[in-house]
Amino acid sequence: MEQVAKAIARRSSWRIYPSGNLSLNLLGLSTQIPEKVVYISDGPQRTVIYDIFIICGKENFPDG
């Protein structure tokens, strides 16, 4: 899934960052695997939803 998110970001010239539980899991600070994978981007105010992950523009960042 991460490769798909990176491909979407690359196509749109965005930088993406893992958010919430995903970032904790990637850093090894949590063993929980997030049900919903959310990335925050420096892109415009729009949300891209693909399967189980979401890429959000800065101001569309979801709570939780």
Q: Which pLDDT belongs to residue 58? A: 64
Decide: 34 and 11 in contact? Cβ < 8 Å.
no
Check the CA dihedral 51-54-12-44 and report its sign: positive
What are 50's strand-pairing partners?
53
Q: Which pLDDT belongs to residue 29? A: 95
Q: Which pLDDT belongs to residue 51? A: 74
pLDDT in tens, 4-62: 888 888 998 888 888 888 889 989 999 988 888 888 888 777 788 777 777 777 655 55
Give the type of residue at 61: F
Q: What is the DSSP letter of 62?
A: P
The structure tokens 């892109």 sit at: 43
Decide: 36 and 53 in contact? Cβ < 8 Å.
yes
